[in-house]
Structure 1
């Protein structure tokens, strides 16, 4: 996880030092977070919560939460390793924290292309 986030940050924001929190959780846990903070009572694969303070030596960019159960199921569906799926979800969350949006066709395409580029850079 650390390698993925470190690489992603160095590629997308070279020269910046950010603090990030990342967690692997169960489906029930991510569902509760989704319900509590986003008002959606459903499981999801990844959530990204932007940080507040952006000043200082190591500004807090935010928190990324990945469901390991959903990641494992998606890895089976897409026929790749769970490690690759977790890396993809971490990168997806990271890009959201950096301002990428996937709520339009164009935004989703741009975000997906960047995710694939970063995965290739990680050798996944």
Structure 2
């Protein structure tokens, strides 16, 4: 089950379509979906989590807490809407495309994809692009 929660004024449009898209990606990667909670928030909220839980005193667009067991995907994904907006401008893309990229990015981490080294980041980006195309 995919849940969308809001700690900011932002509201995700077409939650059902996005939820189905995420579920299809999980299935395509050979995993099963359990409870996944997305929390849309602002920089201040996410920064606090970053400092408290990860000991990183920086802004970020996404933090995910992975509670998956084997092939059963579950976790909490926090997304800063402010960071997504800024990143969309920096990457010269639309807010919606960048938001969708970040949404699927968290799921791909749960499916075992990494992005700390260039080679892994390239694989991750290709997967993101593939699933963005599936969303249309």
For residues 33 and 67 of structure 2, the distance between their equivalents in structure 1, rounded to whole angstroms, comes to 14
What is the CA distance between 1:99 and its match in structure 2?
1.4
Q: What secondary structure is seen at the aligned counterpart in 2 of 1:18?
A: strand
Aligned residues of 1:49 and 1:97 also touching (Cα < 8 A): no
Residues 1:73 and 2:86 are matched in the alignment:
yes
Cα deviation, 1:63-120, whole Å, max 9, x if unaligned, reads 1111000111111222322111111111111111221111122211111100011011
Aligned length: 119
Aligned to 2:35: 19
What is aligned with 2:63? 47
Higher relative contact order (CA 8 A, sep 6+): 1
- What is the CA distance between 1:4 and its match in structure 2? 3.1
Which has the larger share of strand? Answer: 2
Q: Is residue 127 of structure 2 the alignment partner of residue 114 of structure 1?
A: yes
Deviations 1:1-25 (A, max 9, x none): 5433431331342473322000111
Cα distance in 1 for residues equivalent to 2:81 and 2:128? 19
CA contact (8 A) 1:24 1:67 kept: yes
Runs (5+) with no aligned partner, structure 1: none
Q: Which stretches in structure 2 are left out of the alignment for 5+ residues?
A: 1-11
TM-score normalised by L of structure 2: 0.77
